[in-house]
A and B are shown apart, each in its own frame.
Chain A
């Protein structure tokens, strides 16, 4: 795997936390926009369950794929990039990006 990851990735790696933390800030706000007040607790509970599931299985999937030889580190990151790209397409599509606040 030596040399597969470029030094420029060190700078770029700080962009992943930007994406992650921005999502963390805005998803609860979207729940506030879209979910009636008296069921927001239920909505936040379910949304956080999805998030916790991702954080829990992430290390097992990544390290499992690397240690079993199924994917290289670069391969894992390329799939990660594809997933980020898919979510970007979804969130920028009119279907989602035009979702308005329930009170407007």
Chain B
């Protein structure tokens, strides 16, 4: 008889794998805009923008069907397949030259991330109870922010030490090894809290159950505005307002940090804030049994800056 794994074990295994999966993708964001690297891959700088946005664009069409897939199939197999696709996308980066092979890699990564993110969050909800759902969701997000920060740094170091293509092969090896670990260690989570009483309509077929429209509308609007402002507007304009404030660089003692590097530092610190704030926000919401007021207060803190 199989031993039932603790939710903490599953949560951290999922989070670690999700963080590792970002290695190939985060490296591209860091190094691809460099003219030497893009020239080495046979692409122009204008193509770089298209390639970096392609994975996000395909997710607009993939997230919905992927969600339906997770309602009908076990999580484990799809999550392991997702990590395999993530490693596969890095193979395209390691071997590909020119726009189309790299675009194929980006589309593959879009599918991989859609499967990882929707599936990872579904699995986190599977292993959580009403009392720790916020904290667990926060810890999973924390792993994401650790992944973005660490993968950007590690990926660019690998590129500097071994070159872009060898660096990507190392990423393939690391992601594949993590996938193997998931294959042997990650349990199926769908029936994890089977003893916990669920609402009656949970027994129905997924196709017969209607989503709560009001909750869906408010959550979708909130995350749309949040990502539009934090990941879209602020991230894209950070270098503009930092240049407005500091000019071409920031002098610290006798060192001058060029404004592009300083913007990178700002972005890295922003991600580190997420490492702290996500489990904290989740825990607070669990403690008081209310999540929306915590989001509201967080939004007010964002408003203090921009308003």
Contact = CB atoms under 8 A, between A and B. Distances in A.
B3 interface: no
Given A25-B137, A58-B228, A42 B71 contact: yes
Nearest to B274: A21
B117 interface: yes
A33 to B, nearest CB: 7
A38 B235 contact: no
Interface in B85-121: 114, 117-119, 121
A42 B211 contact: yes
Interface in B218-246: 218-238, 240-242, 244-245
Interface string B294-306: 1111111111111
Given A41-B71, A52-B60, A96 B218 contact: yes
Contacts, number: 365
A40 B72 CA distance: 11
- If over half of B's interface residues share one DSSP class (helix, strand or loop), that class is named, otherwise mixed; here it is helix
A38 B209 contact: yes
Contacts of A81: 303, 305-307
Contacts of A23: 222-223, 226, 295, 298-299
B125 A32 contact: yes
Contacts of B57: 56
Contacts of A19: 226, 230, 298-299, 301-303
Interface string A67-102: 000000100111011111111111110001101011
A86 B214 CA distance: 17
B67 A21 contact: no
Nearest to A89: B296
Given A35-B215, A54-B227, A26 B294 contact: yes
B66 interface: yes
Interface in B119-147: 119, 121-122, 124-126, 128, 130, 133-134, 136-138, 140-141, 144-145
Interface string B234-278: 111110111011000000000000000000001001110110011
Contact of A15 (B214, B290, B301): B301
Interface stretch (B22-30, B39-47, B176-184, B279-287): B279-287
B281 A43 contact: no
Given A12-B305, A20-B229, A33-B133, A55 B56 contact: yes
Given A23-B226, A50-B221, A16 B292 contact: no
B231 A54 contact: yes
Interface stretch (B7-15, B150-158, B159-167, B198-206): B198-206
Contact of A24 (B119, B122, B226): B226
Nearest to A31: B219
B69 interface: yes
Nearest to B121: A28
Interface of A: 1-5, 7, 9-10, 12-59, 61-63, 66, 73, 76-78, 80-92, 96-97, 99, 101-104
Interface of B: 53, 56-57, 59-60, 63-71, 114, 117-119, 121-122, 124-126, 128, 130, 133-134, 136-138, 140-141, 144-145, 197-199, 201-202, 204-206, 209, 211-212, 214-216, 218-238, 240-242, 244-245, 266, 269-271, 273-274, 277-279, 281-282, 285, 289-307
